[in-house]
Amino acid sequence: MALNSAVTADGHEIGRAQAVQAEAAKIEPSADMNPILLKPEGERRTQVVVLGKVLGSMSAAEYHQYKPQLRQIVSDALTRLRSRYELIVIEGAGSPAEINLKERDLVNMFVARLVNAPVLLVGDIDRGGVFASFVGTMELLEPEERALIRGFVVNKFRGDRALLEPGLEFLSQRTGVPVAGVVPYISNLRIADEDSLSLESRMNSRKPEANSIDIAVVCLPRISNYDDIQPLEHIPGVAVRFVASPEEVGTADLLILPGSKTTLNDLAWVRSTGFADLILDRARSGRFVLGLCGGCQMLGQSITDPAGVESSANYGEGLNLLPIKTCFAATKITAQVTFRIRREGFWGDLAADNLKGYEIHMGVAEPSAASVAPFEITSRNGAPVHMVDGAADETGTVMGTMIHGLFENEEIREKVIASLRKRKGLPESSPLAAVNFGPANFASANKDAEYDRLAKVVRANLDFSLISKECGIDPEILCAEERVQTEPVTISEGQS
């Protein structure tokens, strides 16, 4: 369940976490790695994506009833993966001891029991109560499920491990299960976030300093793919703030209206909170506003959803800052794209081709004329196309695009910051950190360095002799300093 998603090379939508894990392993992500993705549309409804394509929108009760029909899909996806790879790492979701949902479990012990997989139980100590969580989980598991638990891992530990030892010893004695490791908290890890939980610590938390660029991002109730912003967060001299009220925006150099899973509902929220008035004032005064995907649609003239694809509302007036109209359709567009810049914008006179990004949207935003579109999409999932994208106002200070991953392109990222610095009277040159994320660029050395930084910490703090024994793999392979690509190995039934 996540609103940060990614697109595979063949145009299937999967969760960001699975795309990141595949990328770290230097393999192409596939829909089999995330056979079921839930994208919440409200407190009690979710869009259900099966094998990368939208199945439909369901209430919580409807989805719960439908779960048994999805079990075979999960099983088949796992079978296909096991035929291709030597080792499969199965990630659970939430707690494996949700007793109210256990009868129709799809993601935790159901999958572990399906292939008799050894299980590591991981607890986030940063949120408190980790020992109670471990012991309580073991108490609530069935005997055959408890037998699969081979180790505990404490995650995000801060402080002196020696002070933790008495608790670790008690845990092992109480449960009979060893502690497989304690992974310390890693600050400023530049790896794309999975979901909105990571926003809690970033709400208006990074205050702009003197002579820095201040970027404010509207934290919509159903914000999605906000990892679009992450490449900007680690640039020296740039402060990125997620804001929940217009008062927090202040004199931000750039205001970003991000993507939304329920665009019309979030547009109503933008109006009710006063953000709409603030955005209109910024546009009138010539201050930069950027809309990404759903945010682009909100900046347009109108949004129609005749079939109720995304919400119960069928029509909404946009903020009328961009000459585009949006209509929602039943078929979701999911594609990796290449694109080029057609006209000047935040990036000044940058002329760039072969830029990379991706599309995930059900609403098609049509500009009133091709001349207002800042981008042209030149390929979708490898097939050549010629399609204009997005729109800009006459001054070029208000702009929108349906393309995700804009700032993963170093050329755009650097030009935008340079343009904002020039507008603020600062030197255009700045020691920018070249940071790349997301599935758009699989060859970024800087991104590899972040994965390797995480791997080094994990390697030093987990008991790989225990883990390798459970997996039936040579510990020297699991602990190798260099990540080596090998040919896929077909494994026999019963291995996992």
Structure-token pair, residue 297: 């649609």
Question: Whole-angstrom Cα distance, residue 421 to residue 410?
Answer: 16
Contact 10, 381 (CB under 8 A): yes
If we measure between CA atoms, which residue out of 128, 32, 42 comes closest to residue 82? 32
C-alpha radius of gyration, the chain, whole number: 24
Active-site residue (options: 293, 296, 361, 471): 293
Spell out the residues 6+ positions from residue 76 whose beta carbon is closer than 8 angstroms to its own: none
Active-site residue (options: 12, 234, 361, 404): 404
Task: Tell me if residue 345 falls in helix, strand or coil.
Answer: strand
- The length of the chain in residues reads 496
Question: Whole-angstrom Cα distance, residue 289 to residue 399?
Answer: 6
Largest CA distance in the chain: 71
Map tokens 């009690």 to a residue: 44
Contact 146, 135 (CB under 8 A): no
If we measure between CA atoms, which residue out of 346, 301, 309 comes closest to residue 328? 309
293 is catalytic: yes
Cα distances (Å, whole numbers) of residue 198 to 11, 41, 114, 291, 402: 27, 19, 31, 22, 24
Q: Can you say how many angstroms the Cα of residue 463 is from the centroid of all Cα atoms in its chain?
A: 29
Contact 175, 135 (CB under 8 A): yes
Provide the 8-state DSSP code for 91: P
Spell out the residues 6+ positions from residue 484 whose beta carbon is closer than 8 angstroms to its own: none
Count CA atoms within 13 Å of residue 82 on its CB side.
Answer: 16
Question: Whole-angstrom Cα distance, residue 304 to residue 317?
Answer: 9
219 is catalytic: no
Residues with a catalytic annotation lie at 293, 404
